[in-house]
C-alpha cells in the first residue's frame, strides 16, 4: 500500500486530494495545525477512528514553520509521495503578513525537500509542490505555459517563486523526483470564503434568500482562468505518477472577468444583473428576476466596489495553456466554468436555506464576516 503525506489537508485541495487518494487505496497522512477551534470541517467525512483496525487515514499536528516537526513526521511516516499544499494562500493577506507568508510558502518547501534529503529518502519519496499561476503576475505573454517568464506581483507570489525554484534545484542537484504543478485558480463549494468566487456565490445566495442587501467587491476588471478543484487534484496525482519528473501547467484555457462571474452566479438563481459606472463608483443592479422562489426588487443595487479589496499590485490577466498536461498526462477536466458556478451556487443556496431555518427558529446562524 502506498503512503501519501499531505500538508494543507484541511484546506480545499487537501480535502479533495485526500478523498481521491483514499479511493485509490493509499494510506493517507495529513498535517493539521493546532487551532483554538476545530479546523477539520472539510475532512470530517473522511475521519476514521484511530482505535479501529486497518485505518488508512491519519492526522498529525504540525506546521511548515517547524523544521523539527517536518523532519520527524517524514521520518515516522516514510511516505512514497508528499503533496505540499500547505500555505498562507491568500494573495491580499500576503501584503499584510509578508514575512510569515515567506516562512510558510517559501521556506516551508525547503524544509520538506531538505528533510527528504537528510533522511536518505531521495530514491523513495516523490514530492509535489503546489506552484501557482500567480508566478506569471505582470503579464509577459498569453496564454501562459511552462516556458512563459515569471514576474511575481505579491509577497505570496514571490514566496511561491522561491518554492518553485528550490524544487527545480533539488531535482537537478540531488536527482530527486520533485515537481511543480503550476495550477491556475481552481474553486469549488469547499473554497475558502474570502476568495472572490466563494465570496460571490455565498453573497448571491444570501441576497436571493433575503439575508443580505449587497456584496462589496474589489477589482471587477481582473480576469482569471477558473477550473474546478476536483479536476485539479486529479492532475496533482497524475503529475507524481510519471516516469520522469517534470513541471506542468494546469488550467482550462479560458479566462473570464470577475464581473462576468458575478453575473453568472446571479443568473443561476434567475436574477439578471447589469453594471453601471466605472472604477470605484461601479455598481451592479437587478434588471430582471425570473425565479418566483428568489424575488429581488428590480433596480436594487446588489454589488458595490470597495477599494479596501484592491491590492497594492494586481495581477490583471491569467490565461493558461494546458496543452502539455492534456497531451502527456492525458488530463481531462470534467467541469467547465458554467458547471463550476452551478455546483458552487447549488451548495451555497442549500447552505443558506439551512441557515435561514435556524435563524427563523431563533438559533445562532453562520457568521457573515468577509
Site size for ligand NDP, by CB under 6 A?
26
Q: Which is nearer to ligand NDP, 39 or 287 (CB)?
A: 39
CB of 345 to ligand GDR, least distance (A): 16
Q: Are 11 and 191 in contact (CB under 8 A)?
A: no
Contact between 167 and ligand NDP per CB under 6 A: no
Question: With the C-alpha atoms ordered 334, 338, 341, 346, is the resulting torsion angle positive or negative?
Answer: negative
- Please list every residue from 115 through 174 that binds ligand GDR, using CB under 6 A: 132-134
Among 186, 206, 230, 259, binds ligand NDP (CB under 6 A): 186
Rg, the chain, Cα only: 21
| Contacting residues for 207 by C-beta, under 8 A, at least 6 apart | 213, 214, 215, 271, 296, 302
- Choose the stretch contacting ligand GDR; rule: CB under 6 A; options: 139-147, 194-202, 275-283, 292-300: 194-202
Active site residue 246: no
Sign of CA dihedral 168, 172, 178, 182: positive
Q: How far from each other are the two terminal CA atoms of the chain, in whole angstroms?
A: 42
Residue pair 150/137 in contact (Cβ under 8 Å)? The answer is yes
- CA dist., res. 203 & res. 216, Å (int): 9
Q: 132 catalytic, yes or no?
A: yes
Could you tell me the three cell numbers for 167? 524544487
From residue 78 to residue 117, what is the string marking binding to ligand GDR with x (rule CB under 6 A)? Answer: -----------x-xx-------------------------
Least Å distance between CB 89 and ligand NDP?
A: 4
Least distance from ligand NDP to the Cβ atom of residue 248, Å: 12
Catalytic site includes residue 109: no
Is residue 222 a contact residue for ligand NDP (CB under 6 A)? Answer: no
User: Of these residues, 19, 134, 187, 234, which one is catalytic?
Assistant: 134
- Is the distance from CB of 56 to CB of 160 less than 8 angstroms? no
Contacting ligand GDR within 309-328 (CB under 6 A): 309, 311, 314
33 lines the binding site for ligand NDP (CB under 6 A): yes
Phi, psi (deg, nearest 5) at residue 57 = -125, 120
3-state helix, strand, coil in the chain (%, to 5): 40, 20, 40
Residues that bind ligand GDR (CB under 6 A): 89, 91-92, 132-134, 184-185, 194-196, 199, 217-219, 222, 224, 258, 309, 311, 314
Residues that bind ligand NDP (CB under 6 A): 7-8, 10-14, 31, 33, 35, 39, 63-65, 85-89, 104, 130, 132, 183, 185-186, 192
Q: Tell me which residues are annotated as active site.
A: 132, 134, 156
Amino acid at each position: 500500500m502506498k503512503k501519501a503525506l499531505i500538508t494543507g489537508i484541511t484546506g480545499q485541495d487537501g480535502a479533495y486530494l485526500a478523498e481521491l487518494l483514499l479511493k485509490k487505496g493509499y494510506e493517507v497522512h495529513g498535517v493539521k495545525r493546532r487551532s483554538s477551534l476545530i479546523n477539520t470541517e472539510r475532512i470530517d467525512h473522511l475521519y476514521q477512528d484511530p482505535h479501529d483496525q486497518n485505518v488508512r487515514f491519519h492526522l498529525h499536528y504540525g506546521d511548515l514553520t517547524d523544521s523539527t516537526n517536518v523532519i520527524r513526521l517524514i521520518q515516522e511516516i516514510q511516505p512514497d509521495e508528499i503533496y505540499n499544499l500547505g500555505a498562507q494562500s491568500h494573495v491580499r493577506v500576503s501584503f499584510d503578513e509578508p514575512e510569515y507568508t515567506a516562512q510558510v510558502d517559501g521556506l516551508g518547501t525547503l524544509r520538506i525537500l531538505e528533510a527528504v534529503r537528510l533522511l536518505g529518502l531521495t530514491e523513495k519519496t516523490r514530492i509535489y509542490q503546489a506552484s501557482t499561476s500567480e508566478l506569471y503576475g505582470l503579464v509577459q505573454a498569453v496564454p501562459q505555459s511552462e516556458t512563459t517568464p515569471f514576474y511575481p506581483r505579491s509577497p505570496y507570489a514571490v514566496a511561491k517563486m522561491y518554492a518553485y525554484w528550490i524544487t527545480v534545484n533539488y531535482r537537478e542537484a540531488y536527482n530527486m523526483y520533485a515537481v511543480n504543478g503550476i495550477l491556475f485558480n481552481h474553486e469549488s463549494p469547499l473554497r475558502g470564503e474570502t476568495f472572490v468566487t466563494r465570496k460571490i456565490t455565498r453573497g448571491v445566495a444570501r441576497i436571493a434568500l433575503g439575508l443580505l442587501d449587497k456584496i462589496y467587491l474589489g477589482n471587477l476588471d481582473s480576469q482569471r482562468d477558473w477550473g474546478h478543484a476536483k479536476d485539479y487534484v486529479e492532475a496533482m496525482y497524475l503529475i507524481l505518477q510519471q516516469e520522469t519528473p517534470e513541471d506542468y501547467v494546469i488550467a482550462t484555457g479560458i479566462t473570464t472577468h470577475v464581473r462576468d462571474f458575478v453575473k453568472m452566479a446571479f443568473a443561476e438563481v434567475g436574477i439578471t444583473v447589469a453594471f453601471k459606472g466605472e472604477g470605484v463608483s461601479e455598481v451592479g443592479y437587478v434588471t430582471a428576476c425570473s425565479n418566483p422562489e428568489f424575488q429581488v426588487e428590480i433596480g436594487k443595487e446588489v454589488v458595490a466596489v470597495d477599494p479596501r479589496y484592491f491590492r497594492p499590485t494586481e495581477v490583471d490577466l491569467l490565461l493558461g495553456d494546458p496543452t502539455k498536461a492534456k497531451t502527456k498526462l492525458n488530463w481531462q477536466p470534467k467541469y467547465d466554468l458554467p458547471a463550476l458556478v452551478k455546483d458552487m451556487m447549488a451548495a451555497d443556496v442549500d447552505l443558506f436555506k439551512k441557515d435561514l431555518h435556524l435563524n427563523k427558529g431563533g438559533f445562532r446562524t453562520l457568521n457573515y464576516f468577509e
